[in-house]
Structure 1
Amino acid sequence: MTNASQVLVTDFYEFSMAYAYFKENKQDIIGYFDVFIRTIPDSGGYYVFNGLHKFIDFIQNFKFDEDQLEYLKNTGQYDDDFIDYLRNIDLKLSVYAVKEGTPVFANEPVVTIIGNLIEAQLIESFLLQSVNFSSLIATKASRMVQVDSSKSYLEFGTRRAHGADASIEGARAAYLAGFDATACTEAGIRYGVPVAGTMAHSYIQIYDDEYAAFMAFAKVHPEDCVFLVDTYDTLKSGVPNAIKVAQEYLIPKGYRLKGIRLDSGDLAYLSKQARIMLDKAGLTDTQIIASNSLDEFTITDLLLQGAPIDVFGIGERLITSRSHPVMGGVYKVVASMQDGVVVPTIKLSDTIEKITNPGFKRLYRFYDKDTDKAVADLIALHHETIDADEYEIFSPTEPWKRKILTNYYYKELQVPIFSNGKLVYKVPTLEEVKTYHQQQMQTLWPEVKRLNQAHLYFVDLSQELFDLKNKLIAEKRAMAKRL
Structure 2
Amino acid sequence: MKSYNDDSLALHTDAYQINMTETYWHDDIHNRKAVFELYFRKMPFGNGYGVFAGLEKIIEYIKGFSFSESDIEYLREAVGYEEEFLTYLKTIQFTGTIRSMKEGELVFDNEPILQVESTLAEAQLIETALLNIVNYQTLIATKASRIKQVLGEEKALEFGSRRAQEMDAAIWGTRAAFIAGFDATSNVRAGKMFGIPVAGTHAHSMIQVYKSDYLAMKKYAESCVRREKKVFIPLVDTYDVLRSGVPAAIKVAKEFEGQVTFAGVRLDGGDMAYLSKKTRQMLDEAGFHSTQIVASSDLDEETILSLKAQGAKIDVWGIGTKLITAFDQPALGAVYKIVAIEDDQGNMLIRLKFLQIQKK
Which TM-score bucket, shorter chain as reference? over 0.9
- Match of 1:38? 41
Q: Secondary structure at the match of 1:70?
A: helix
Following superposition, the deviation at residue 301 of structure 1 comes to 1.1
* CA displacement at 1:250 relative to structure 2: 2.1
- Alignment equivalent of 1:122, drawn from 114, 120, 125: 125
Change (3 A) 1:254 1:70: closer
> Which residue in 2 is equivalent to 1:329?
334
Choose the corresponding residue for 1:275, options 272, 280, 298.
280
Partners in 2 of 1:84 and 1:110 — Cα distance?
Answer: 33
Report what 1:72 is aligned to.
75
Q: Helix, strand or coil: the match of 2:199?
A: coil
Q: Give ranges in structure 1 of 5+ residues lacking alignment.
A: 353-483
3-state SS of 2:293 partner: strand
CA distance in structure 1 between the aligned counterparts of 2:6 and 2:319, rounded to whole angstroms? 30
Deviation at 1:3, TM superposition (A): 7.3
- Asked if 1:131 corresponds to 2:138, the answer is no
- Contact kept, 8 Å, 1:4 with 1:62, in 2: the verdict is no
Of residues 345, 350, 353 in structure 2, which corresponds to 1:344?
350
Question: Quick check: 1:225 aligned with 2:232?
Answer: yes
* Amino acid aligned to 1:36: Y
Amino acid at match of 2:311: G
Which residue of 2 is the match for residue 404 of structure 1? Answer: none
The DSSP-based 3-state class of the residue aligned with 1:8 is coil
Partner of 1:255: 260
Deviations 1:426-476 (A, max 9, x none): xxxxxxxxxxxxxxxxxxxxxxxxxxxxxxxxxxxxxxxxxxxxxxxxxxx
The answer to whether structure 1 residue 102 and structure 2 residue 105 are counterparts is yes
Indicate conservation of the 8 Å contact 2:224/2:260, yes or no.
no
Aligned residue pairs total 350
Deviation string, structure 1 residues 208-242 (Cα, Å, up to 9, x no partner): 11100011101111421111001000111101111
Give the CA deviation at 1:343: 1.2
Mapping for residues 462-477 of structure 1, pairs under 5 Å: none
1:165-244 to 2 correspondence within 5 Å?
A: 165-222=168-225, 223-244=230-251
Aligned counterpart, 1:143: 146
In structure 1, how many angstroms separate the alpha carbons of the residues matched to 2:259 and 2:55?
46
Q: Do 2:231 and 2:260's aligned partners in 1 also have CA atoms closer than 8 Å?
A: no
Q: Which amino acid aligns with 1:58?
A: Y
Counterpart amino acid of residue 260 in structure 2 = Y
- What is the DSSP-based 3-state SS (H/G/I as helix, E as strand, rest coil) of the residue aligned with 1:7? coil
Report the counterpart of residue 245 of structure 1 in structure 2: 252
The whole-number CA distance in structure 2 between the counterparts of 1:2 and 1:40 is 36
Question: CA–CA distance in 2 between the matches of 1:76 and 1:232?
Answer: 58
Report deviation, 1:88. 1.1
Cα distance, 1:196 vs structure 2? 1.0
Aligned positions of 1:410-449 closer than 5 A: none
Q: Per-residue deviation at 1:2?
A: 6.5
Q: CA deviation at 1:14?
A: 0.4
- Corresponding residue for residue 296 of structure 1: 301
CA RMSD of aligned residues (A): 1.4
Shift of 1:185: 0.9
Task: For residues 87-132 of structure 1, give each alpha carbon's deviation from its aligned partner in whole angstroms, at most 9, with x where no partner exists.
Answer: 1113211111111110110000010011111111110011111111
CA distance in 1, matches of 2:241, 2:356: 57
Query: Residue 197 of structure 2: SS of its match in structure 1?
Result: coil
Distance 1:5 1:34 in 2: 25
Name the TM-score, length of structure 1 as normaliser.
0.71
1:230-258 Cα offsets, whole Å, 9 max, x none, are 100011110111111111x222x353311
Tell me: CA distance 1:289–1:123, structure 2 relative to 1, closer, same or farther (3 Å): same
3-state SS of 2:37 partner? strand
Residues 152-171 of structure 1 mapped to structure 2, 5 A cutoff: 152-171=155-174
CA contact (8 A) 1:4 1:64 kept: no
Residue of 18, 22, 25 corresponding to 1:19: 22
Bigger fraction of residues in strand? 1
SS at match of 1:289: strand
Over the matched positions of the two proteins, sequence identity in percent amounts to 46
* Structure 1 counterpart of 2:111, one-letter code: E
CA gap of 1:69–1:203, structure 2 versus 1, over 3 A, is same
**Partner of residue 447, structure 1:** none
Q: Which runs of 5+ in 2 are unaligned?
A: none
User: Contact 1:4–1:63 at 8 Å: present in 2 too?
Assistant: no
